[in-house]
Structure 1
Amino acid sequence: MPSTAVRSEPAAALPAATVLNDVHSRLNRTRVDAVLRPSSVPAAIDAVRASARAGESLAVMGARHAMGGQQFLSGGRVLDLGALDRVTGFDDGRGLVTVEAGIRWPALLAWLAAHPGNTRGWTIRQKQTGADDFSLGGALASNIHGRGLAFAPFVDDVESLTLIDADGTLVQASRRVNPELFALVAGGYGLFGAVIGITLRLVPRTTLVREVRMTRATQLMADFDAAIASGCTYGDFQFTVDAASEDFLDLGILSCYRPTDGDPGHAHRRALDARDFSRLLSLAHTEPGRAFAEYAAFYLATDGQRYASDEQQAGVYLGDYHAPIDACLGHAGSEMITELYMPRARLADFLGAAADSLRRTRAQAIYGTVRLIERDGDSLLAWAREPWACVVFNLHVRHDVAGLAAAAHSFRALIDLALARGGSYYLTYHRWAQREQVEAAYPRFGAFLRAKRAFDPAGRWCSDWYRHHCRLFGEAPA
């Protein structure tokens, strides 16, 4: 790791009063004073020290996929770590790779595939599956998960990290070194320092065979359990989003992946490309029943196809797909994600209640899936407090006052349904939860805010997300 004594070029800055937004929902248009883009670790250290001397706060930004304002600071400065994207260490014997936090998943996977020293075929265990262009620093900050059937969240794959603290000093943290800081940074949304290095635990690359069937919510957990018992390591359930159908949030496609011998192979493999996804997404807004029928037919036809364990986690992401949909619908809009958690025994009950709630609030679901998660024993602000079922909704949101108010109402209603079943929700995707919902879902949120003040009393690290929650809890920001 570069020494803190090394001087380098100053961090490049975008012009003052830059306007930023999140990539997916585009509901966080934020005017910031400056965006600092250091091209090296020493330059990032210099940027933090300069901000400390000036008494300025910083938000840390990666790929801009969080939707709650975690990476933005209205009227403030943003530290964009996207240029810190190098692999800095690799241990073939132990299956460890050390990367700068701005690296994106495709770059890491390409490096591992091409590196001659990777003699054992090491690769990642999990990543987000809806897209690929996420930074690993952002993955740690929001403590993401993938479609693993028996995995804890991403922190479980992290061996150690290096961050720049409020004074511009490099600090190491792991489960053995600075464990309290490690627990705060994982899922801490950039509020405890700028993570610039992550050492990741890898797994051997394997070949998987996809097993696809149609099933229903009432049978889903039994099907998941049977898949796990048969050796499947990944899987998810994608349900129909046609609110006019009796099958709404009930009938769906269960796709599981079981290790098998041999190479993955690519010959005659069926796959959806960007044009296919664009057409299906457009159709989901106007003819959701037809969109699901076509999607289900495609997936059923892929039963038996083989994939590499890292390859099956890749996803096609359409960044600008909504413009033609807006023209068709006659209003500006986008999809906002929410993710709910509940005890697995309550999953079917939750989906039935969610179907009623979405119909009642007239919310339009565009896409939805169910996954599993194991308990997170590392993070202070853990969302996976139990081995839960995870339900993800992409809901269409109109970009006007009435549309935003309706979305907030729909999302709060879904959170209440999860909480009533002993569950929780994911903090990453919006700021619409009320204080009592935050407290019920995250009993340690007050401790999180107190730890923030203790570790960063000068308030060097800040964000609109943090300011919002301080207001919600009646506390002044650090």
Structure 2
Amino acid sequence: MRKVWMIIIPIVLSYILIFQWGLNERDPKNIITDVSRLMPTKIDKIVKGSQEKGIVNALSKAREENLRVSIAGKRHSQGGHTYYPDGMVLDMTGFNVVLDVDPSGKTVHVQSGATWDDIQKAINPYGLSVKVMQSQNIFTIGGSLSVNAHGRDIRNGSLIETVNWFRLLKPDGEIIIVSRSENEELFPLVIGGYGLFGVILDVELQLTSDELLTLETEELDVEDYEDYFSQTVLKDEKVRMHLARLSTAPDTFLKDMYVTNYRVSEDQEKYNDYNTLKKDEFTGLTKFSLGLSRNFDWGKNLFWDMQKSFFVKSDGNLETRNNVMRSESKFLEYKGENDTDILQEYFVPVDEYEEYIDDLREYLVDENINLMNITVRYVNQSQEAVLSYAKEDMFALVLLINQGLGEEERKQTGETIRGMIDITIEHGGSYYLPYYQYPTHEQLHQAYPKAEQFFQNKRQLDPDERFVSIFYEVYGK
């Protein structure tokens, strides 16, 4: 009987894998995808880098075999940015050592496969905090640099502003230091460069002091938010971080908001009572509520009311900066049998916000899209990166969308998303590039006027096109 099960179990597992990927591949080990599961792709091999010498040797081997190379971390980019058909994928997640923390200089030196969680654990004992990162701490440093991430901090904008230097493994195998004064032409290309110029090996980041913050939450109407933010939030230097959510519930669709400000607390002497790093809480409840939101309009109304009530009741709570930057992440893990969750992110000038939301609401009323959540953040003007999304002070709207995995569902979602991007561009805005390739070439170049310069630089600095991705194949050629 045991022998029978030893035969049956591998067969069953193989069918499960094939069903999950949606491809009838004989060797599923060579199929790779990202968190969206929209682009399963057959590659040649995955090489897991844990030592610098091994990473260098892997690139040398790729040159010998004329393999294209892509670089992957947690693979939360959703548009084929981390792999390429029949290419080599460098998995950097094992290259993850925090090399040094300098408390006096307020810097951290870290390998690119480390996560923000790794950094937070290393710097929290020194009373230090990251300046800029995403709202979740699960991403790798190299991945965050490659998308030039931003987050809740309204005093420090894009991640590029907090980078002192990094080491880069170039396509020809040479390792160089890149900073604003050394090999400076590469600095604004690699950060926000989606892994197309080489392998970021390690980086020195600026840190700031951790501090105790008071949460202040209140409800607003959409038409009040623009003035509220400019007058009440941005002008108050004691407000360090800010987050808003915009209703996607049918009863209050794109009309209601609630905002949370993180203000420097007057009770800093209580810091030691709160500086233990927190773990995810209420994950099961959040996942359950989000599941109802995927499937039912009443679920969206319920989820919105629960979210708003929870944060309003948190008004006055104390939390350290590090813990504010340790938001729940496990509730985002969703693998539906026939559907998936994707992200979109649109940047719109602060003074266009009210009119923009009105136009977006009018457009989406007649569109069949399962929009579950919109988070609003602020990012100040930052044009240092060639592919900068913040041409001026912007509100960033992060949209969580549920869609089917089939071709017809992708087509329908794509049409709606292209319409939203058109509205965003009409209001002087842009969109974020790490997501599925729904935007047109024209939209990319409208949102990123330096895109052609970026791709020309790519071809000049990597003439053999050693580092590629599906994203580059679609938009860079």
- Same fold at TM > 0.5: yes
Alignment map for 1:84-163 (pairs within 5 Å): 84-114=95-125, 118=126, 121-129=127-135, 131-163=136-168
8 Å CA contact 1:343–1:388 kept in 2: the answer is yes
**1:466 Cα shift?**
0.5
Report SS of the residue matched to 1:370.
Answer: strand
Match of 2:204 in 1: 199
Report SS of the residue matched to 2:182.
Answer: coil
Match of 1:280 among 264, 270, 289: 289
Match of 2:360 in 1: 354
Q: Distance in 1 between matches of 2:207 and 2:279?
A: 28
TM-score, normalised by the number of residues in structure 1: 0.89
Alignment map for 1:53-452 (pairs within 5 Å): 53-114=64-125, 118=126, 121-129=127-135, 131-225=136-230, 226-230=232-236, 231-242=238-249, 244-245=250-251, 247-260=252-265, 261-262=267-268, 263-264=270-271, 265=273, 272-285=281-294, 286=296, 287-318=299-330, 322-323=334-335, 326=336, 332-452=338-458
**1:272 Cα shift?**
4.6
Aligned length: 441
8 Å CA contact 2:150–2:157 kept in 1: the answer is yes
**1:271 Cα shift?**
8.6
Q: Distance in 2 between matches of 1:391 and 1:40?
A: 38
- One-letter code of the match for 2:353? L
**1:319 Cα shift?**
6.4
**1:136 Cα shift?**
0.4
Runs of 4+ in 1 over 6 A off after TM superposition: none
Match of 1:3 in 2: none
- One-letter code of the match for 1:220? Y
> Quick one: structure 1 residues 334 and 181, their matched pair in 2 at CA, closer, same or farther if it must change by over 3 Å?
same
Question: What are the Cα deviations for residues 60-111 of structure 1, in whole angstroms up to 9, with x where unaligned?
Answer: 0111000111101111110111111001223222111110000011111111
For structure 1, list consecutive stretches of 5 or more residues without a partner in the other structure. Answer: 1-14
TM-score, normalised by the number of residues in structure 2: 0.89
Q: Distance in 1 between matches of 2:305 and 2:427?
A: 31
**1:359 Cα shift?**
2.0
- One-letter code of the match for 1:309? R
Q: Compare 46-55 and 451-460 and name the one that shifted more.
A: 46-55
Q: Distance in 2 between matches of 1:427 and 1:197?
A: 23
**1:28 Cα shift?**
2.1
Q: Distance in 1 between matches of 2:114 and 2:374?
A: 28
Report SS of the residue matched to 1:360.
Answer: coil
**1:408 Cα shift?**
0.4
8 Å CA contact 1:62–1:138 kept in 2: the answer is yes
Identity of aligned residues (%): 23
8 Å CA contact 1:71–1:78 kept in 2: the answer is yes
Match of 1:5 in 2: none
Report SS of the residue matched to 2:234.
Answer: helix
8 Å CA contact 1:57–1:461 kept in 2: the answer is yes
Q: Distance in 2 between matches of 1:211 and 1:425?
A: 29
Report SS of the residue matched to 1:233.
Answer: strand
Q: Which has the higher helix share?
A: 2
8 Å CA contact 2:30–2:45 kept in 1: the answer is yes
